[in-house]
Amino acid sequence: MTAQLNPRGDVAVLVPAAGAGVRLGPGAPKALRRLGGEPLLTHAVRRVAAAPSVHSIVVAAPATEVAAVRELLAPVAEVTVVPGGATRQASVAAALAAVPAGPEIILVHDAARALTPAALVESVAAAVRAGAEAVIPVLPVVDTIKEVSADEVVLGTVDRAALRAVQTPQGFRRAVLTAAHAAAVDPLTDDAGLVEKQGVRVVCVPGSEYALKITRPFDLALAEYLLGSAPVAGQS
Ligand code: CTP
Ligand code: MG
């Protein structure tokens, strides 16, 4: 069933999905790899579309797969599909350029975080709506973290209490994200990194274990296991 987005919503969600998935091993581009019989991208978009504030969704697809991705997502939700770029940052920039006028809150969300519940999309958007310029969902770091030299000798132990693992969706006031991308020089792996460079205050909200990034084969196996219990709209 095609999800209806909210024409009065104030949130646009950019979904970078143009990566190859090298770390997942040989096969289709990662966003098109299957989880429970459906592409990762379908799972991710279905959950984003279930968030009541979402007005529009722009997907950056692998350049050779734009038509296929349009066809794939047509029954899921009304989405705009653009060709992505050579880096995640270039893909986000391409999607940002295609956001319609209206939404003043922009979220950027990895297709690879296929099981992210709609509730997390809403809580990140709510924090921006409440006044934050930039918002990231985070989890505490559970492992002890060591800093090491190039030859794998321990240099020291980092204070774990002050560390957070960062997820997506990351949320921004529209003008803040647009300015950060316009000023970007070196590609970074997340958008909050770009706005940090602009001196913008980035605030944290609690993340979700279900928002894990599917990166390696183990993660895909874990996501298969979680699929049965993963909420679409419910609690994060
Ligand atoms: N991404 C993108 N365009 C790129 C590279 C990455 O849109 N040129 C997207 C991926 O599709 C993914 C998200 O950014 O949804 C996070 O990237 P990552 O997990 O690193 O995915 P891949 O780059 O596909 O994986 P790998 O690095 O293992 O090749
Ligand atoms: Mg990558």
Average pLDDT over residues 208-216: 98
Inter-residue contact 98 to 85 (CB < 8 Å): no
pLDDT score at 210: 97
Going by their DSSP bridges, the two strands 146-148 and 154-157 should be labelled as antiparallel
Q: What is the pLDDT of residues 102-128, one digit of tens each?
A: 999 999 999 999 999 999 999 999 999
Going by pLDDT thresholds of 50, 70 and 90, the confidence category of residue 188 is confident
- How many angstroms is it from 112 CA to the middle of ligand 2? 10
Going by their DSSP bridges, the two strands 11-16 and 54-61 should be labelled as parallel
Going by pLDDT thresholds of 50, 70 and 90, the confidence category of residue 235 is low
Residue boundaries of the structural domains of the chain: 11-235
pLDDT score at 185: 82
- Gap between the Cα atoms of 39 and 61, Å rounded: 13
User: What does pLDDT average to over the chain?
Assistant: 96
The backbone torsions φ and ψ at residue 214, rounded to the nearest 5 degrees and listed phi first, read: -80, 105
Average pLDDT over residues 177-198: 90
- CATH class, range 11-235: alpha beta
Return the closest-CA partner of residue 70 out of 58, 87, 56, 55: 58
- Gap between the Cα atoms of 135 and 115, Å rounded: 20
* Minimum CA distance residue for ligand 1 atom 8: 87
Q: Is the CB of 215 under 6 A from ligand 1?
A: yes
- Gap between the Cα atoms of 81 and 42, Å rounded: 13
- How many angstroms is it from 102 CA to the middle of ligand 2? 30
